[in-house]
A and B are shown apart, each in its own frame.
Chain A
Amino acid sequence: MNKTISTNIIRAIILFLAQIIIFKQITFSLGGLAFIHFLIYPMVILLMPIKTPRSVLLISAFVFGMALDMFYDSIGIHTAALVFTAYIRNLVIAFIEPIEGYNMVDVPTIKVMGIGWFVTYTSILLLFHIFIYFSIEAFSFVYIFEIFLNSIFSFIVSFMVIIILQFLLRTKY
């Protein structure tokens, strides 16, 4: 159990650094139509063990989001989106539960749950996260078209990066 916690903390720190050092810099615009953001940090919440209590998810999402927002100069925006993602994570997990159910020690990675389950799981939560993020950033549904456009393009690139990272770094916990 201690190993799980330390793995998650180390993963959070690595993802945090990767997000603010690398992925924050390669935000670019797609011909003025859409802005592509690489948002890979939701993996911190996504990869926590399946049976993690919801309150733990929420608090870690809040802490992680605040730390991220300080570097993004957008206090509260990433946090709100990440807290929301953490809140609906367990609902999504219950929704896409395999027939044989989950084990107590299961971790939602490709290695443990299989690629089909992982793709479903990640795409649902990541899409929610990115959509919420852009909605809060725009803060008004006047910009609904831009929100959708940004969400879809950012989702595609972020999702690809997350899947590649999953194949590169196969953690046990």
Chain B
Amino acid sequence: MYNVIQLIVKYGAHLLFVVLQVICFSLIINYNKAQKDIFINSSNVFSGKIADLQDKILQFANLKEQNDSLMRENANLIENIIKIEYSSDNIPDSDTLLNQYRLIPSNIINSTIHLSNNHFTLNRGSRHGIQPDMGVIASHKGLVGVVRNVSENFAHVISLLHSQTKISCAVKGRKGHGTLVWKDMDPLRMNLESLPKHEFIATGDTVITSGYSTMFPKGLLIGKIEKFSIPSGSNSYSIKVKLFNDLTNSEYAYVIKNKLGSEQLSLEKEVANE
């Protein structure tokens, strides 16, 4: 106690100064409009800066979660686009048809580009509902490949850039359909074959999926016709397609789950066995 009193005696004047100044400033801020405004504003500036910084740090920490949620959102949006593609058609609408496709977001964790048979690995597997022969897309614009093998947590995908790739596709706004194959070892270009030569096409036309397979729904954008020719003696065009997406730097992919795919396949198999 004695020490406290001694301390107050020794530093009393300084304490008094601080106390009086605090009183003065609280009075200034509370009763003078100009000073009050400046005080509030500069405190806003400081707190705003701090909040901004905090937000930046938290955002960085949350990047992965945000990315995941964005991917889920994207998956929903692409599903909607597919639905619209179907509902705008003349096919009679039905709920089962509209909800036929579901998208499973995933990350590409391993890929090859420059081989003649390229592959991807996704970080989702049978546990997440992926099965062989499902289509894989990068976004609404651009296919990636087809699932070949599935383990519990990973899926092995045959890239579009594979000598065995055959994807049924059509030209938007034109009739007829052909097959998309990869021939020239160019990761940005593919070839569209067996489109009958009596159909009319032009360079710049958009190539879309035809929806004739169970892997990809109708109307997914693939690329643009860069040039085409009719080889002599052939019955179909030889078309070079420039892909919309760049498979060399794809990071995310959506696996398309066709709920009615197995039904369609089993029916077709019965017919084939006859």
Contact = CB atoms under 8 A, between A and B. Distances in A.
The prevalent SS among residues of A at the interface is helix
B230 interface: no
Contact of A76 (B16, B17, B31): B31
B42 interface: yes
B67 to A, nearest CB: 42
Contacts, number: 59
Contacts of A79: 20, 24, 27
Contact of A75 (B13, B16, B20, B32): B32
Given A55-B16, A62-B20, A75-B32, A140 B27 contact: no
A101 interface: no
B83 to A, nearest CB: 57
A139 B20 contact: no
Interface string A16-57: 000000000000000000000000000000000000011100
Interface in A46-81: 53-55, 58-59, 61-62, 65, 74-77, 79-80
Interface in B33-64: 34-35, 38-39, 42
B28 interface: yes
A136 B26 CA distance: 12
Given A75-B28, A77-B28, A79-B27, A53 B21 contact: no
Given A80-B21, A83-B24, A140 B42 contact: yes
B28 A136 contact: yes
Interface residues of B, number: 19
B12 interface: yes
B123 to A, nearest CB: 54
A58 B20 CA distance: 8
A61 to B, nearest CB: 8
B35 A139 contact: yes
Given A76-B28, A76-B31, A83 B21 contact: yes
Contacts of A87: 13, 17
A74 B27 CA distance: 9
A76 B27 contact: yes
B38 A76 contact: no
A58 B13 contact: yes
B32 A77 contact: yes
Contacts of A59: 16, 20
A58 B17 contact: yes
Q: Which of B12, B20, B26 has the most CB of A within 10 A?
A: B20
A140 B16 contact: no
B212 interface: no
Contacts of A80: 21, 24-25, 28
B21 A84 contact: yes
A130 B115 CA distance: 81
9 contacts: A53-B13, A55-B16, A59-B20, A75-B32, A76-B24, A77-B28, A77-B35, A83-B24, A137-B35
Interface of B: 12-13, 16-17, 20-21, 23-28, 31-32, 34-35, 38-39, 42
Which 4 residue pairs spanning A and B have beta carbons closest together? A76-B27, A54-B13, A80-B24, A76-B28
Interface of A: 53-55, 58-59, 61-62, 65, 74-77, 79-80, 83-84, 87, 136-137, 139-140
Given A58-B16, A76-B23, A140-B38, 12 more contacts: A55-B13, A59-B16, A62-B24, A74-B32, A76-B24, A77-B35, A79-B27, A83-B24, A84-B21, A87-B17, A139-B28, A139-B35
